[in-house]
Chain A
Amino acid sequence: MTLINRPPVAPTAPILAEGMAKVPPRRGFLRENPSLPWFLGLLTIFTLMVSVLSEGLGVGALSTSMVKIIGMTLCLCLIAIAMDVVWGYCGILSLGHFAFFGLGGYAIGMWQMYARTEIVIRDSMAGGVLPPTPAEVSDAVAAQIFGVVGSLDLPLIWSFAHSLPAQLALVVLVPGLLALVFGWLAFRSRVTGVYLSILTQAMTLALALYLFQNDSGLRGNNGLAGLQNIPGLLDVPQAVLSVWFLWASALALGLGYGLFAWVVSGKFGSVIRAIRDNEARVRFLGYNVEGYKLFVFTLTAIVSGIAGALYYPQAGIINPAELAPIASIYLAVWVAIGGRGRLYGAVIGAASVSLLSSWLTGGGAPNIEIGAFRLMWADWWLVLLGVGFVAVTLFFPKGIGGLFDKLVRKQP
C-alpha cells in the first residue's frame, strides 16, 4: 500500500541534464527546416513578379485591387502559419485567433482614423480667424469620428490614438496581453481538447458582441473605415501604396515563417509536439506544460495581431463582424486543408482556399450549364467547400501538404 500511495517524485534537474546528454547532437537549423529556403526564395520571386506586373510600379498587368487581394492573402497566410503552430504543432485548437487578428486591425485602424480625421479637421479649421487650440481640434475629431454612434467625446481607449508608435505597440500588446491572461486562466485549470476550443470560441463571441455595442468606444457595428488612406502618405497613389503593403506583408510573412520555423525546430519544438501527442506524459517528465502552451499561444496571438494590422489597411474597413467566431473556424479549415504540422501546408491552405473563395463567389468563375440545371458558383461554392472539407478530413488527414511527402519520399 505504501508503495502505491507514495506521491510521484518530480524528476530533478540532474536527471534531466543526464538524459539530455544522451540526446544525439542536433542537426543544423536549415537541415531541420528544408522548406525554409525554398519558401523564402519562392516568396521573394513571387513578390518581385507581382511588383513587376503591378499597376503602381510595373507594367500594369495586375490591377491595384488584385495587388491588394494578393497582399491580403499574404497576411492571411501569416495568421494561418500562426494557427498551424498553435494547433498543428502544439495541439491547441484555438477558435479565437481571428479575434487577435481583428484586435491588431483595430489598433492600427484607430491611429489611421484619428490621424486622418485630424488632418481633415485641421485643414477645415485653418480657414478660421482664430487658430484652433489642441483641445478644440481633439473635440472636433472626436465629434467627427463618434457622431455616427451619437457621442461627442473621445473614449478612454483612444487616449493614444494620436500617436503611431503607441498604436503600433498596442498592435502587439493588446492581442499579447489578452492571450496571456486568457491562456493563463485556461491552461492553469487544465482546460484541454474540445473544451478549450469552445472556451476560445466563447472568448471570440464575447469580444465580437462587445465590439458590436455602440458604447464600446470603437463605433459599434460601423467599425472603422477609410483605412486604405495612410496619414502622412496621402499623396501616394493607391496603386503604389498597394505594392508597398504587398512588400510589407511579404516581409512579415517571410519573417514570421522564419520565426516559427525556428520555434518549432530544436528542443522547444520537440517539447511542444510532445505536448500535442501526450500532454500528461510530458508533464510527468517534469516539463512545465502550461508555460510552453502559454508561450506558444501568446506568441501566435501577437503574430496574428501583426497580420491583422497589415491586412486591414489593405482591406480598407474593419467591423466587428470580422471577429465573429465563424472567421476563426474558417482559419482552422484553411490549415486543415493545407495540412497541419507543416508551415508551408498552412500557407498553401490559406492561399488556395481564400483565393478560390473570392474568385468563385466574386463571379469570376463561369457558371456551368448541366442540361436544364445551371450551376451558380456563388451559390454552390460553400456547399462544395463544406463537402470538400469533410472529404479532406476523412480521406486526407494530412491535407494538400501531405502530397509533398509522397513527392519527397519517391526521390530519396
Chain B
Amino acid sequence: MSIFARLLPLLLALVLAAPLVAQTPLQDVLQANRVEVANPSRASVGQVLAALREADAPGTSEFLRQWQDRMVVEDPATGLFHVSLEVEGRQLALIDLDSGAEIGRVSSRDVIPIRPNAGVRREIGAALVRFELSAPDPSRRLAALEAIARSPDADQIPLLESAIPDESDADIRARKLRLLDLLNARFATDTGQRIAAIKGLSGDVSTEARRVLNQILATEPGLAPTLPTDRNIARVLIAGQHLSPHEAYDRLVAAGLAPARPERNTLRDALLAHVADGAVAGLPLHRLSDPAARIEAYGVLQAQGLVPPLVGEADIAATLAGYVFFDTYLEPDPALTDAARAALDQTATRLTLFQWMAISLDALSLASIFFLAAIGLAITFGVMRVINMAHGEFIMMGAYTGYVVQTVIPDYTVSLIVALPLAFVVAFGAGVAMERLVIRHLYTRPLETLLATFGMSIALQQLAKNIFGTQAKPLTAPDWLAGAISLNDVVSISTIRVAIFVLALIFLAALLIMLKRTRLGLEVRAVTQNPGMAASMGINPDRINMLTFGLGSGIAGVAGVAIGLYAQVTSEMGANYIVQSFMTVVVGGVGNVWGTLAGAGLIGFLQKGIEWFNPSNTLAAQTFMVLFIILFIQFRPRGIIALKGRAAGE
C-alpha cells in the first residue's frame, strides 16, 4: 500500500502521458539502478520497481516474472543483466533483455545469479500484478483480471482495490469491481466487509459468483449425542427422513462409534473361519446351504464368544436413537453463511428463469431442425397422400451436395451460398425424377408407395455409401457461424443453431407466401382439397403433383445442408430423421404448414422437457416421447391441426 501511495500520482501521469513519453530500453533502466537490482532488499526494491514502471519499457512484465523466478543473472565483465536459461550440462544460455535474442553460452560459474529473497519476491509479484492491472493495453488488463479470477488469493485484494480508481474503461472497471467483490466475499478480514461483498453477489448467475457463495456454504457431516451449540449448523438430518437409517449408521461406524453392519459376505466369512471337521458349530457343512441353518450356526458361535454379535435392524434403530446427525458449515460465522444463503436463494430464482430460457432455446432449435426435416415431407404427404420413405435420402443428398461444393470451392462462406440453392436444385431434380418414374404409377395404391419409396431409400443409401464411402464427411461451417452467442454463463446457444432457426423461419415465410399468394400455391391447395374437382376446373393435377413432390424434395435438400453443418454427413443421416419427421407430420396434422410447425414445436419442446427431468439419458427421453406420441394420436388421430370437410375424409 505504502509503495502504491507514493506512486499513485506518478502512475496517473504515466497512464495519461504514456503515448508521449519516449520509451527507454529495459537494460538502461536497470543499469540506472544497478546496485538495487543486483542485491535487492525489501527496502530498496521499491525504487527499482518505481523506475521500471516509469520507464514502461517493452518486456518489463516478462522481466519481472523472470526476476521473481530467479532467472536473471549479472555478467560481471560488462555489468549487464541477462536472462539465463539452463541448457545441457552446466551451461547457461544468456538472453538479451531487450531483443530477446540469445547472446551466448557461458558456464554457470561465470555469471552472478541474482537471488531475491522471499520478501522481495512477494513485492515483485505484487508489482507484476499491479503493473499488468494498470497496463495501458486493455487486453493485458483483462488478462491480468482473468489470472486473478483463476487463482484468487487474499493478497490480491489491495492490489485490485488500488487499480480501480484510475480505470478508464467502463467494462473493465465493472469487471474489476465484480472481482473485488468475489475476493472480498471470500478473503476480507472484516466480517462487515465480507457480508457487504456477499450481498453484492446476490442475483449474479455467473458460475464464478455461485462458486464463491457455494464455497462459503460448504458443509461437512457431523454427529453428536446432542446438538452442539458452538458450531454453525447448516441443517439437522433426521435418520429415515433426510438420510436412510443405514447411511446414518454408516456415519457412526465411520466415526468409530458403532460396530459395522454385516455385509453380503460377513456371515459366510465368519462361518468359513470356524470350519472344523466338516462342520461349523456342530452343524454339518452340507446343511449350510440353508440360510436359516447358517444363522443358527452363527448363533452357536456367538454364544461361544467366537464371533461378534450380528448387527440387526433393531440394533441399528436403538443405536441411532442416541445420536443427532447434522451438517455443519466450514465457515464458523452464522452471519456470513446466512448472508451467503440469502444471496444464493436470490440467485436461484433468477437461475431457474435463465435455465428455463436455455431449455426453451434448445427446444426451439431442435424444433426448427425437425421443422426443416419434416416440412418437405408434410407437403408431399399432405398434397399427394404419398408416404415418401426416401425423404431422408433427399436430406442426405443435399448434405452431400454441400460437401462436394466445399471440396470444389475452398471458401466456406461462398461454398455455403452456392451449396444452398444447388442442394435445392439437385434434390428437386431427383424428386421430380422419382415422381415421374415411380410414384406417378402408384397414386391409387398409397401403401405401395410406402414400399416403393422404401426400396428407393435403401438403393440411394447404398449408392451414397458406394460413392462417398462409409466414413462420415465433414461439412464445415464458416467462421462467422462457428461460435456461440452467450447471454451469461447459463444461457448460450451456438450460432449455427440460430442460423438454422432463421433458415426455418425463412422457409416458413416463403412457403406461406408461395401457398397463399401465388397461382401455383392456389393450385396446390386446390389439389390438396379435392383433386377431382381441381382437375375439372382446369388444373392439371399431374403437373401439380410433380412440382409439389419436387418442391418437398428440394426443401429436404436445403435442410440437409443445414443439418450437415452441425451433424456429420453420412449415408445414414437421412434415415435418422425419417421416423421423427413422420411423427412431426402426423402429430401436427397433414396438409398444413402450421400443423407441421405445431408438430415440430410440440416434439422439440417435449423432447427437451423430458431430457430436463432426466438429463443423463437422452434415450429414455426419446422413448417417452414416442410413447407420448402414440398416446397423443389416440386422442387426436388427425393431428393438432386437422383438415375439415370432404378433404379430411380420405
Residues of A within 8 A of B (CB): 93, 129-136, 139, 182, 185-186, 189-191, 193-195, 197-199, 201-203, 205-206, 209-210, 212-213, 325-326, 329, 332-333, 336, 379-390, 393-394, 397
Query: Nearest residue in A to B465 (C-beta to C-beta)?
Result: A379
Query: Nearest residue in A to B621 (C-beta to C-beta)?
Result: A209
- Is the pair B466, A205 in contact by a Cβ cutoff of 8 Å? no
Q: What residues of B have a CB within 8 angstroms of the CB of A202 in the complex?
A: 579, 582-583, 626, 629-630
- Is the pair B582, A201 in contact by a Cβ cutoff of 8 Å? yes
Q: What residues of A have a CB within 8 angstroms of the CB of B471 in the complex?
A: none
Query: Nearest residue in B to A320 (C-beta to C-beta)?
Result: B619
C-alpha spacing A213/B461, complex, angstroms: 27
Q: What residues of A have a CB within 8 angstroms of the CB of B582 in the complex?
A: 198, 201-202
Query: Nearest residue in B to A194 (C-beta to C-beta)?
Result: B387
B552-590 with Cβ < 8 A to chain A: 575, 579, 582-583, 586
C-alpha spacing A169/B288, complex, angstroms: 34
With A93-B447, A130-B285, A393-B442 as contacts: A386 and B458 at CB distance below 8 Å: yes
- Is the pair B466, A379 in contact by a Cβ cutoff of 8 Å? yes
With A129-B285, A209-B623 as contacts: A193 and B446 at CB distance below 8 Å: yes
C-alpha spacing A201/B459, complex, angstroms: 21
Q: What residues of A have a CB within 8 angstroms of the CB of B462 in the complex?
A: 379-383, 386
Query: Nearest residue in A to B457 (C-beta to C-beta)?
Result: A386
- Is the pair A201, B452 in contact by a Cβ cutoff of 8 Å? no
Q: What residues of B have a CB within 8 angstroms of the CB of A326 in the complex?
A: 575
Residues of B within 8 A of A (CB): 264, 268, 271-272, 275, 280, 285-286, 288-291, 294, 385, 387, 389, 438, 441-442, 445-448, 450-452, 454-463, 465-466, 575, 579, 582-583, 586, 617, 619-620, 622-623, 626-627, 629-631, 633-635, 637
Query: Nearest residue in B to A336 (C-beta to C-beta)?
Result: B451
With A131-B288, A202-B583 as contacts: A393 and B634 at CB distance below 8 Å: no
C-alpha spacing A206/B442, complex, angstroms: 30
Q: What residues of B have a CB within 8 angstroms of the CB of A388 in the complex?
A: 455
Q: What residues of A have a CB within 8 angstroms of the CB of B456 in the complex?
A: 386, 390
Tell me the smallest distance from the CB of B392 to a CB of chain A, in Å: 12
Q: What residues of A have a CB within 8 angstroms of the CB of B627 in the complex?
A: 206
Q: What residues of B have a CB within 8 angstroms of the CB of A336 in the complex?
A: 448, 451
Q: What residues of B have a CB within 8 angstroms of the CB of A136 in the complex?
A: 268
Query: Nearest residue in B to A125 (C-beta to C-beta)?
Result: B289
Tell me the smallest distance from the CB of B545 to a CB of chain A, in Å: 17
Q: What residues of A have a CB within 8 angstroms of the CB of B466 in the complex?
A: 379-380, 383
C-alpha spacing A243/B256, complex, angstroms: 64
C-alpha spacing A333/B454, complex, angstroms: 9
- Is the pair B583, A198 in contact by a Cβ cutoff of 8 Å? yes
With A133-B294, A386-B462 as contacts: A329 and B268 at CB distance below 8 Å: no
With A201-B579, A202-B583, A393-B442 as contacts: A93 and B630 at CB distance below 8 Å: no
- Is the pair A212, B619 in contact by a Cβ cutoff of 8 Å? yes
Query: Nearest residue in B to A379 (C-beta to C-beta)?
Result: B466
- Is the pair A194, B442 in contact by a Cβ cutoff of 8 Å? no
- Is the pair A389, B455 in contact by a Cβ cutoff of 8 Å? yes
C-alpha spacing A132/B617, complex, angstroms: 37
C-alpha spacing A384/B461, complex, angstroms: 12
- Is the pair A386, B459 in contact by a Cβ cutoff of 8 Å? yes
Name 19 interchain pairs, CB-CB below 8 A, sorted by A. A93-B450, A130-B285, A130-B288, A133-B294, A185-B630, A189-B637, A193-B446, A197-B450, A201-B579, A206-B623, A206-B626, A213-B617, A213-B619, A213-B620, A213-B623, A380-B462, A382-B458, A383-B463, A394-B452
**Interface residues of B: mostly helix, strand, loop or mixed?**
helix
- Is the pair B455, A390 in contact by a Cβ cutoff of 8 Å? yes
- Is the pair B446, A394 in contact by a Cβ cutoff of 8 Å? no
C-alpha spacing A271/B285, complex, angstroms: 68
Q: What residues of B have a CB within 8 angstroms of the CB of A201 in the complex?
A: 579, 582
- Is the pair A195, B633 in contact by a Cβ cutoff of 8 Å? yes
Tell me the smallest distance from the CB of B328 to a CB of chain A, in Å: 34
With A194-B447, A202-B579 as contacts: A393 and B452 at CB distance below 8 Å: yes
Q: What residues of B have a CB within 8 angstroms of the CB of A195 in the complex?
A: 586, 633, 637
Q: What residues of B have a CB within 8 angstroms of the CB of A390 in the complex?
A: 438, 452, 455-456, 459
Q: What residues of B have a CB within 8 angstroms of the CB of A381 in the complex?
A: 462
Q: What residues of A have a CB within 8 angstroms of the CB of B385 in the complex?
A: 194
With A93-B447, A190-B637, A205-B579 as contacts: A382 and B623 at CB distance below 8 Å: no
Query: Nearest residue in A to B287 (C-beta to C-beta)?
Result: A131
Q: What residues of A have a CB within 8 angstroms of the CB of B291 in the complex?
A: 133-135
Q: Top 6 nearest A-B pairs by Cβ distance?
A: A386-B459, A389-B455, A206-B626, A382-B462, A131-B289, A386-B458
Tell me the smallest distance from the CB of A24 to a CB of chain B, in Å: 32
Tell me the smallest distance from the CB of A143 to a CB of chain B, in Å: 10
Other-chain contact of A191, B446, B452, B458, B637 (Cβ < 8 Å): B637
Query: Nearest residue in B to A387 (C-beta to C-beta)?
Result: B459
- Give the one of A133, A201, A336, A379 with max B CB within 10 A: A133
- Is the pair B637, A130 in contact by a Cβ cutoff of 8 Å? no
C-alpha spacing A186/B635, complex, angstroms: 10
- Known A135-B291, A198-B586; further 16 A-B contacts with Cβ < 8 A: A130-B268, A130-B275, A131-B288, A186-B634, A193-B446, A194-B385, A197-B450, A206-B623, A332-B454, A382-B458, A385-B458, A386-B455, A386-B457, A389-B451, A389-B455, A390-B455
C-alpha spacing A203/B268, complex, angstroms: 47
Other-chain contact of A130, B271, B448, B575, B629 (Cβ < 8 Å): B271
C-alpha spacing A133/B456, complex, angstroms: 59
C-alpha spacing A232/B450, complex, angstroms: 46
C-alpha spacing A213/B272, complex, angstroms: 40
Other-chain contact of A209, B264, B446, B619 (Cβ < 8 Å): B619
Q: What residues of B have a CB within 8 angstroms of the CB of A385 in the complex?
A: 455, 458-459
Tell me the smallest distance from the CB of A193 to a CB of chain B, in Å: 7
- Is the pair A393, B455 in contact by a Cβ cutoff of 8 Å? yes
- Is the pair B630, A206 in contact by a Cβ cutoff of 8 Å? yes
C-alpha spacing A54/B620, complex, angstroms: 46
Q: What residues of B have a CB within 8 angstroms of the CB of A132 in the complex?
A: 289
Tell me the smallest distance from the CB of A130 to a CB of chain B, in Å: 5
- Is the pair B289, A133 in contact by a Cβ cutoff of 8 Å? yes
Q: What residues of B have a CB within 8 angstroms of the CB of A382 in the complex?
A: 458-459, 461-462
Q: What residues of A have a CB within 8 angstroms of the CB of B619 in the complex?
A: 209-210, 212-213
- Is the pair B633, A191 in contact by a Cβ cutoff of 8 Å? yes
With A198-B583, A393-B455 as contacts: A386 and B460 at CB distance below 8 Å: yes
Query: Nearest residue in B to A386 (C-beta to C-beta)?
Result: B459
- Is the pair B286, A131 in contact by a Cβ cutoff of 8 Å? yes
Tell me the smallest distance from the CB of A273 to a CB of chain B, in Å: 16
- Give the one of A185, A193, A386 with max B CB within 10 A: A386
Q: What residues of B have a CB within 8 angstroms of the CB of A139 in the complex?
A: 264
C-alpha spacing A189/B288, complex, angstroms: 59
Tell me the smallest distance from the CB of A345 to a CB of chain B, in Å: 15
Q: What residues of B have a CB within 8 angstroms of the CB of A134 in the complex?
A: 289, 291
- Give the one of B286, B387, B445, B635 with max A CB within 10 A: B387
Query: Nearest residue in A to B626 (C-beta to C-beta)?
Result: A206
Query: Nearest residue in B to A394 (C-beta to C-beta)?
Result: B441
Query: Nearest residue in B to A91 (C-beta to C-beta)?
Result: B447
Tell me the smallest distance from the CB of B431 to a CB of chain A, in Å: 15
C-alpha spacing A206/B459, complex, angstroms: 26
Q: What residues of B have a CB within 8 angstroms of the CB of A394 in the complex?
A: 438, 441-442, 452
Q: What residues of B have a CB within 8 angstroms of the CB of A206 in the complex?
A: 622-623, 626-627, 630
Q: What residues of B have a CB within 8 angstroms of the CB of A397 in the complex?
A: 445, 448
- Give the one of A136, A199, A384 with max B CB within 10 A: A199
C-alpha spacing A380/B466, complex, angstroms: 8
Query: Nearest residue in A to B438 (C-beta to C-beta)?
Result: A390
- Is the pair A130, B455 in contact by a Cβ cutoff of 8 Å? no
C-alpha spacing A131/B288, complex, angstroms: 6
Q: What residues of B have a CB within 8 angstroms of the CB of A198 in the complex?
A: 387, 582-583, 586
Other-chain contact of B455, A131, A205, A325, A333 (Cβ < 8 Å): A333
C-alpha spacing A205/B389, complex, angstroms: 15
Q: What residues of A have a CB within 8 angstroms of the CB of B623 in the complex?
A: 206, 209-210, 213
Query: Nearest residue in B to A325 (C-beta to C-beta)?
Result: B579
Query: Nearest residue in B to A329 (C-beta to C-beta)?
Result: B454
